[in-house]
Amino acid sequence: MALFILFIAYTGIESIYLERRRKRLKWRLAIGGIRGKSSVTRLIAGALREAGIRVLARTTGSRAMVIFPDGHEEEIRRSGPPNILEGKGFLSLAHKIKAEAIVVELMAIKPECLEAEVNKIFKPHGLVFTNFRPDHLEELGKSRQEVAKNLLRAVEKGQTVFMLAEEVDREIERLLQKKRSHLISVSQNKHPRLSNNLRKPNSNEPDLIDSRANYGDDFIDNIRLALAVIRYLNVNEEVALSGMKKVKSDFGSLKIWEIAIPGKAPSYAVSAFAANEPFSSSLVIERVKEIIPWEGKKIYGLLLFRQDRGDRTEQWLRAIEAGFFAGFDGLFLCRCPHFPLIFSLKKIRKVYLNALSQKTNLRPVVGPEIKKLKPEEALNLVAKLSRQETEPWILIGLGNIVGLGSKLIELWEKAGRRIHG
């Protein structure tokens, strides 16, 4: 009984402590969704910083970082796995440095943990959802509708929610209406100034090629969301755009290196590792095509698996079977999982064995030749292609940035000249 009373007293004191920390902040903004969270966090923080607001930001994607009011960054060092309770320390830091606003990328995956992170720790004035693409299937569900429903559990009654108009359907509208939330649906048609800012002179087409240099990000959807939040906070848009241009790209953002090879035309290594699942990866690949013409080059994919992410492995194997890599000249797979240990789905195992069988050397129905690589072979792949290929090539890294993906980025940073990201 005494322990129970002490526990109740402790939780009550902690609740008061957190509330005092929150009340000192003029704005609390939280960014959720599947892809683009780190980028939107950085864009909003950059805009507020340019407007003279002392803003503390946190990203938790490819590398967990704290971004201070002067723009310098420090990596979050952990002694164990990520935990939503880190948010309490972040609020304490915001209080210590006298921040006026915070912008936080939400880190929880499980719906019940996300609810606690949003409603018990940060209690944001504005909650941004980037998209609801199928990922983390075991925790969030296999369909877009299931992902949306589970993520939106975190929305509190009366909360302001920002979403792209194309992400909003009737079911989402009904769900938010029940919570009496204020939905800000972001579309270019409703924001003509954004459309004008992002278009080439004398053209109706968005100026995607120069979007990172001019607006701080590769993807207009991220910019649209960030600007919608900035408008809501009544920050001058020209000032905001100036701040976005200065934003440092996230470690996991699209990066391209030119690989100089003596006596040959330059080739390219591309980091799209952080896109993770096939749909987002396809959007990044389209962006790569806009930056580097593919004509006259051999195209290779390097797909990294995570043996603890069977759901994502299933997504990629289905994508391979469906012809995701049909336009590629070769596909290298690394850290292929052992399905008897983590999977019982016979069909997926069959696809895996058919695609990778060394005995039959069988290719998938549509797609390039597939080869398995050991991690050390993946690390040496750029050097190997540079020696062996007579034509220029593009190597696109996909699937997973944790561990080996991060090592490859650091290696390619030394081996080539970064031309994008």
**Domains in the chain, start-ordered, CATH in brackets?**
21-245 (3.40.1190.10), 255-420 (3.90.190.20)
Cα distances from 12 to residues 3, 19, 115, 119, 122, in angstroms, run: 14, 11, 19, 15, 16
**Whether 356 contacts 333, CB under 8 Å:** yes
Question: Distance between CA atoms of 128 and 53, rounded to whole angstroms?
Answer: 20
Among residues 106, 40, 36, which one has the least CA distance to residue 254?
Answer: 36
- DSSP-assigned beta bridge partners for residue 58: 66, 104
Backbone angles phi, psi at 126, to 5 degrees: -135, 135
**Whether 47 contacts 230, CB under 8 Å:** yes
Beta strand residue intervals within 318-376, DSSP E: 330-334, 369-373
Q: Which two tokens stand for residue 299?
A: 């195209």
Question: Distance between CA atoms of 32 and 118, rounded to whole angstroms?
Answer: 10
Residues in Cβ contact with 266 at an 8 Å cutoff, skipping those fewer than 6 apart: 258, 259, 260, 392
Question: Distance between CA atoms of 188 and 209, rounded to whole angstroms?
Answer: 18
DSSP state of 119: I
Question: Distance between CA atoms of 71 and 50, rounded to whole angstroms?
Answer: 10
- Residue 132 DSSP SS3: coil
Q: Which two tokens stand for residue 123?
A: 């209690």
**Whether 416 contacts 259, CB under 8 Å:** yes
| Triad 212, 401, 43: Cα angle to 5° | 30
Question: Distance between CA atoms of 118 and 100, rounded to whole angstroms?
Answer: 19
- The predicted pLDDT at position 2 comes to 52
Q: Which two tokens stand for residue 178?
A: 């029940």
- The predicted pLDDT at position 356 comes to 47
Beta strand residue intervals within 14-68, DSSP E: 27-32, 55-59, 65-67
Among residues 409, 353, 356, 348, which one has the least CA distance to residue 378?
Answer: 409
**Whether 142 contacts 318, CB under 8 Å:** no
Alpha-helical runs (H) found in 357-391: 375-379, 381-388
Question: Distance between CA atoms of 46 and 44, rounded to whole angstroms?
Answer: 5
Q: Which two tokens stand for residue 306?
A: 């995570």
Average pLDDT per consecutive 10 residues, the chain (421 residues; last block may be shorter)? 48 68 91 92 96 95 90 87 87 94 93 90 94 79 85 90 93 91 81 43 40 67 93 92 90 92 92 92 92 92 86 86 89 72 41 46 57 94 94 95 93 93 82
Question: Distance between CA atoms of 32 and 105, rounded to whole angstroms?
Answer: 6
Backbone angles phi, psi at 181, to 5 degrees: -85, 155
Among residues 291, 235, 285, which one has the least CA distance to residue 398?
Answer: 285
**Whether 229 contacts 191, CB under 8 Å:** no
3-state SS record for 80-111: CCCCCCHHHHHHHHHHHCCCCEEEEECCCCCH
- Residue 26 DSSP SS3: coil
Question: Distance between CA atoms of 31 and 125, rounded to whole angstroms?
Answer: 11
Q: Which two tokens stand for residue 32?
A: 């959720």
